[in-house]
């Protein structure tokens, strides 16, 4: 499965879960300073950068990511949306000393903090980059999207999720952290936490089926050699038939923390 499929999956996540993103971005927009300088950490395909630029017309956004392919895609999206003059990109590994991001009023980290090798160091860098009163937003996944709940293939999907969780643990990812506590320990104040329980029932729009197809296809690719041959075959059979199904749903949970320097 190519890098392009990861980009497509991230774009589809924003498209299918648009109500969640709209609610979240609106909340952040109400809390942000007027005309803020925004930094998007681990910007990926650019969902956060573009949404914040739209929500905050006076904002300028610096999108930081380690992947040149992601940043190229982000720049293309920004130019197409007429936002290219307000969004700049920086290629950087956030597990190394951070580049000079300039004075910053808002740092956005969506599904990126769990990738950091040293979360305490990353939070210290975020604290140092923000101006007094600046806002740090951390949005993380409590559970990855499930599409087959209540269907005959639910167990096939669940088996894949169990093995992916093991893979993330072995890689040292910081899943299920209490980021509010970590923010407080880093010196942040006024920590607010919101939980989002996302439950989209069938029938899904066509983008929902493609979201399931790309996500579960990527699951199968990542688990080659970890699932048995029959398990992989069962997953591949499910993926091959997703486009024609009317019983797909989207179940996922996300938690967001806002804190001030």
pLDDT digits over 76-104, tens only? 999 999 999 999 999 999 999 999 998 89
Q: Which domains are delineated in the chain?
A: 3-147+173-202+249-260 (3.40.50.150)
pLDDT tier at 1 (50, 70, 90 boundaries)? very low
Who contacts 85 (Cβ-Cβ below 8 Å, separation ≥6)?
none
Mean pLDDT across 182-206: 97
Q: Which residues pair with 194 in a beta bridge?
A: 256
Average pLDDT score, the chain: 96
What is the pTM for the complete model shown? 0.95
pLDDT tier at 4 (50, 70, 90 boundaries)? confident
Structure-token pair, residue 90? 């920086």
pLDDT, tens only, 111-169? 999 999 999 999 999 999 999 999 999 999 999 999 999 999 999 999 999 999 999 99
Look at the block and give the residue holding tokens 């329980």: 197
So what's the pLDDT on residue 5? 86
Mean pLDDT across 65-84: 97
Please state, for a pLDDT cut of 90, what percent of the chain lies above it.
96
Is residue 251 pLDDT above 60, yes or no?
yes
List, in sequence order, the alpha helices (H) in 103-205: 119-129, 154-170, 179-185
| DSSP helix/strand/coil, 9 | helix
Is residue 2 pLDDT above 90, yes or no?
no
| Side-chain half-sphere exposure of 60, counting CA atoms within 13 A | 9
- 107, 214 Cβ separation under 8 angstroms: no
């Amino acid at each position: 499965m190519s890098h392009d499929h990861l980009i497509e999956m991230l774009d589809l996540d924003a498209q299918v879960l648009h109500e969640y993103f709209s609610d979240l971005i609106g909340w952040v927009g109400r809390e942000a300073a007027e005309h803020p300088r925004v930094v998007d950490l681990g910007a990926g395909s650019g969902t956060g950068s573009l949404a914040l630029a739209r929500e905050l017309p006076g904002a300028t956004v610096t999108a930081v990511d380690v992947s040149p392919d992601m940043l190229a895609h982000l720049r293309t999206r920004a130019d197409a949306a007429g936002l290219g003059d307000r969004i700049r990109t920086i290629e950087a590994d956030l597990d190394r000393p951070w580049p000079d991001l300039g004075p910053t009023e808002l740092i956005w980290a969506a599904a990126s903090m769990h990738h950091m090798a040293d979360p305490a160091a990353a939070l210290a860098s975020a604290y140092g980059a923000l101006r007094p009163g600046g806002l740090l937003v951390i949005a993380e996944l409590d559970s990855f999207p499930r599409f087959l709940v209540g269907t005959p293939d639910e167990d096939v999907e669940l088996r894949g999720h169990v093995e992916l969780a093991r893979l993330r643990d072995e890689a040292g990812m910081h899943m299920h952290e209490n980021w509010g506590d970590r923010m407080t320990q880093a010196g942040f104040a006024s920590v607010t936490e919101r939980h989002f329980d996302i439950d989209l029932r069938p029938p899904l729009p066509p983008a929902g089926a493609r979201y399931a197809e790309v996500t579960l296809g990527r699951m199968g690719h990542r688990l080659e050699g970890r699932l048995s041959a029959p398990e992989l075959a069962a997953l591949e059979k499910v993926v091959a038939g997703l486009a024609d199904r009317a019983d797909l749903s989207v179940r996922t949970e996300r938690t967001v923390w806002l804190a001030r320097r």
